[in-house]
Amino acid sequence: MSANLTHSIEVTPAFHDIDLMEVVWHGHYVKYFELARCALLQRFDYDYPGMRASGYAWPVIDLNIRYSRPATYGQKLRVSASIVEWENRLKISYRIHDVASGDLLTKGHTVQVAVNMQTREMCYVSPAVLFEKLGLQP
């Protein structure tokens, strides 16, 4: 197994992230997931510029979010992203916790698939470069 496949960041919802109900608007959680996913993939030198340089696009084909408790303006959040599947697709799970209490607020996952940028064909097995970057055996 490779190094730890989890990375966490902290975010603090800004005023422009809040809706009329005075909580974080549901669509902004996707942005928080994206920030954590990018930080995680940067650890392996395989964020979006690295993916493009390797000849593969990795579009998100599935997104799931489960809201348990709302986040609010100024609340410090810990967003964790973990790579949980990599053989045939890249599945990343997310957890958003309140930093002060540790309470779980939101969880979810995304699924990405490799697409050969030259042929525009989806790969049914993750390319070797992903395994190399993650330090895993295919």
Residues of the chain falling short of pLDDT 70 = 1-3
- How many residues would you count in the chain? 138
Residue 32 lies in a domain: yes
Residue 40 lies in a domain: yes
Total tally of structural domains belonging to the chain: 1
Asked whether the beta carbons of 6 and 13 are under 8 A apart, the reply is no
Range of the domain at 53: 6-134
Residue 46 lies in a domain: yes
Question: What distance in Å separates the CA atoms of residue 72 and residue 43, rounded to the nearest whole number?
Answer: 29
Q: What is the CATH number for 101? A: 3.10.129.10
Q: What is the pTM of this model?
A: 0.93
Predicted local distance difference test score (pLDDT) of residue 2: 43
* Per-residue CA distances from 1 to 64, 81, 135 (Å): 27, 17, 7
Question: What distance in Å separates the CA atoms of residue 119 and residue 51, rounded to the nearest whole number?
Answer: 15
Question: What distance in Å separates the CA atoms of residue 52 and residue 88, rounded to the nearest whole number?
Answer: 18
Asked whether the beta carbons of 10 and 77 are under 8 A apart, the reply is yes
Predicted local distance difference test score (pLDDT) of residue 3: 56
Residue 1 lies in a domain: no
Residue 34 lies in a domain: yes
Residue 27 lies in a domain: yes
Pairing of strands 104-112, 56-57: unpaired
Angle at 69 between CA 68 and CA 72, to 5 degrees: 150
